[in-house]
Amino acid sequence: MIKLIADYGTYGLWILSTREAVLEYVDSGYFNMSSMSFLISALGVVWSIVRIVNSVLDGRVNREQTTPRQIGTKKKSLKMRAINKIIIHCTATPEGRNVSVDTIRQWHLDRGWSDIGYHYIIDLKGNLHEGRPVERQGAHVRGYNKGSIGITYVGGVDSNMKPKDTRTENQKGRLEALIMDLMDSYPNSTLHGHNEFSSKACPSFDVQKEYIEIIKYFKECDY
């Protein structure tokens, strides 16, 4: 109720004035059981409308806060660089072992890097986390960091540290959505797996085969 009044002052004042009118009516002496039933029904309708409007507003805010587009929003304090590649990685950690962004960042700091090397990280539950700002050059593919965005998912090897596509369904869904959003945001970019630029198995699956339809779609888009 407070939020609604704050956002929609006129509507809130109307509700408050209605309350004052009801109190005045009660004090006038013309109040009876029939009037009470009517007032209760009327106020119930008003309250239902308030709850519906608040639910719509809350839903709208939540959707806006969780879209990949917002996660990738450019920060005003940094100048955006040209992007021509989106490269997929894995953390090369055993299947089912959760690894936090802070842990990955510390691994990279221990190597002498200035920050986490990836721009986006997808955890086991499919949650998307920001790493290094996309405006800054990453550290994820030797020789191809300039002009690229690095995405990693947690996992990529089995319990014996052998390459394995360990992505959960939530990770797959989040990764696909992020890829589509980034390729739409940077129409001149191409999609790759880390293994296309090195002898590593990372990301433990064939990116070109997995996302052939998405790649084809953006190639045919007329920007």
Is 89 an annotated catalytic residue?
A: yes
| Of 85, 108, 118, 119, catalytic | 118
Overall residue count recorded for the chain in this entry? 223
| Of 85, 89, 108, 192, catalytic | 89
Query: What is the spatial distance between Cα 75 and Cα 71, in angstroms, rounded to a whole number?
Result: 10
Instruction: Count Cα neighbours of 114 within 13 Å in the Cβ-side half-sphere.
Output: 6
| Of 108, 192, 194, 211, catalytic | 194
Is 202 an annotated catalytic residue?
A: yes
Is 200 an annotated catalytic residue?
A: yes
| Of 85, 90, 186, 202, catalytic | 202
CB of 156 closer than 8 Å to CB of 164 = yes
Query: What is the spatial distance between Cα 154 and Cα 120, in angstroms, rounded to a whole number?
Result: 11
CB of 165 closer than 8 Å to CB of 172 = no
Burial class (CB in 10 A: 0-12, 13-18, 19+), 43: middle
Strands annotated E in the chain: 85-90, 93-94, 120-122, 128-130, 148-153, 156-157, 190-193
Is 211 an annotated catalytic residue?
A: no
| Of 8, 129, 172, 200, catalytic | 200
Three-class SS string for 166-210? Answer: CCCHHHHHHHHHHHHHHHHHCCCCEEEEHHHCCCCCCCCCCHHHH
Catalytically active residues, by annotation: 89, 118, 194, 200, 202
